[in-house]
Amino acid sequence: MPSALPDGEPVPADGALPASALAGAADRPLGFYLHVPYCATRCGYCDFNTYTATELRGTGGVLASRDNYAEMLIEEIRLARKVLGDDPRQVSTVFVGGGTPTLLAAGDLVRMLDAVRDTFGLAPDAEVTTEANPESVDPACLATLREGGFTRVSFGMQSARQHVLRILDRTHTPGRPEACVAEARAAGFEHVNLDLIYGTPGESDDDWRASLDAAIGAGPDHISAYALIVEEGTRLARRIRRGEIPMTDDDEHADRYLVAEDVLTAAGYTWYEVSNWAASPDARCRHNELYWRGADWWGAGPGAHSHVGGVRWWNVKHPGAYAAALAQGRSPGAGREVLTDEDRRVERILLELRLRDGVPLSLLRSEGLAASRRALADGLLEPDPYQEGRAVLTLRGRLLADAVVRDLVD
């Protein structure tokens, strides 16, 4: 969840949605994203809406302390129940993200999940994920999460090499993420993800291969690999500007991506979204698929974004402002927009083109169709071999996904 919030129209104090948002809701899955905006230290590259204890001191941090965070978030789940009224849907996916969710006690995360279950009901096969930092879990906490109904855990590994972790300001030691996978398996988690970052300044081809090998060797059923983005306003961006460390290189990113595809495919993982590989269709992250396919989700917590039936809204960013709104019985929503049909068409193309299933050609206008024919001729798109009428990125197209999609939305 990036930290910058768009402008928009105000959200009513009671959070009420226009009636149009709930039309046909029964036919769409409903997910919950629960944001935990706390980290022990801030990684130099990270732009997410998260706060260290020092950053919160004297800024309403008492109202929004970690100790009462679960209670506060549960207030928003109750608000969601009121706003969604008699919407009969059970929740099909829950994703607890951060920040570092596992800085809270595992029992707090379970109570937040219990609140979703008690208030909405969880589908019998619900996928329930938490993100976790490798240094912030132990076997006991993983066991509590599993017993409490979590089905999936996603660890931020980033790299297997100490000098790369140092540039990223990560505090865990090499080897710890792999141990976390074993601990999660022992606790009964069938689904485990490792997040990797490639293209960190100073990372060599050999470092990247070592990270992929270490991740694969740990045996997760899902691996995400993200190109390092140098976000404005971060410590990493300042260090690069000062010349302390070199800028990342796009060509190097492309080379690293090709290595990832090669190594992960050889190890039995298949891409299903540009940055995501799964060991089997069952191992895909259904919650992320729900985002990418424009389904409904309620994002609870400071700065969290929600989308229900073409209405998108986002909460106030600061935990203090968030706590104050809920304490006064107001929605923490900071702004919203009602998407037009054209907004939704463009959004579908932007998100679905990044998927292995590709984008239906029926979404493209005449200029987009012309661009898709050019992309096909240039080897950037292929007609999906499995589904008539859809276009899918080729491997080369995946390297240039942003540019391809820009032409298709015309």
Residues 36-75: x where in contact with ligand SAM by CB under 6 A, - otherwise, as a string: ---------xx-x---------------------------
Told to check if 131 binds ligand SAM by CB under 6 A, we report: yes
CA–CA distance from 130 to each of 251, 320, 375 (Å)? 33, 23, 38
Q: Dihedral angle at the C-alpha atoms of 265, 267, 272, 275, nearest 10 degrees?
A: -90
In the block, residue with structure tokens 């700065």? 303
Question: Of 1, 22, 36, 43, which one interacts with ligand SF4 (CB under 6 A)?
Answer: 43
**How many CB atoms are located within 10 Å of the residue 267 CB?**
16
Stated as kind and residue range, the H or E segment containing 198 is strand 191-198
Choice between 48 and 59, CB closer to ligand SF4: 48
Choice between 42 and 81, CB closer to ligand SF4: 42
The entry of ligand SAM, ligand SF4, none near residue 229 (CB within 5 to 8 angstroms by kind) is: ligand SAM
Q: Which of residues 139-158 bind ligand SF4 (CB under 6 A)?
A: 156
Rounded to a whole number, what is the largest CA-CA distance in the chain?
Answer: 59
* Interatomic CA distance for residues 371 and 410, integer angstroms: 8
Q: How far apart are the first and last CA of the chain?
A: 27
Q: Which of residues 83-102 bind ligand SF4 (CB under 6 A)?
A: 98-100
Q: Which stretch binds ligand SF4 (CB under 6 A): 38-46, 107-115, 287-295, 308-316?
A: 38-46
* Interatomic CA distance for residues 197 and 240, integer angstroms: 17
Three-state DSSP at 24 gives coil
Residues 260-289: x where in contact with ligand SAM by CB under 6 A, - otherwise, as a string: ------------------------------
The entry of ligand SAM, ligand SF4, none near residue 208 (CB within 5 to 8 angstroms by kind) is: none
Residues 341-380: x where in contact with ligand SAM by CB under 6 A, - otherwise, as a string: ----------------------------------------
Choice between 170 and 191, CB closer to ligand SF4: 170
Told to check if 129 binds ligand SAM by CB under 6 A, we report: no
Q: Which stretch binds ligand SAM (CB under 6 A): 26-34, 221-229, 244-252, 336-344?
A: 221-229
CA–CA distance from 354 to each of 30, 251, 365 (Å)? 22, 20, 19
Residue 307 contacts residue 294 (beta carbons within 8 Å): yes
> Nearest distance from residue 155's CB to ligand SAM, in Å?
7
Q: How many residues line the site for ligand SF4 (CB under 6 A)?
A: 11
CA–CA distance from 383 to each of 13, 261, 389, 391 (Å)? 47, 20, 7, 5
The entry of ligand SF4, ligand SAM, none near residue 42 (CB within 5 to 8 angstroms by kind) is: ligand SF4
* Interatomic CA distance for residues 216 and 372, integer angstroms: 35
| Site for ligand SF4, rule CB under 6 A | 39, 42-43, 46, 48, 50, 98-100, 133, 156
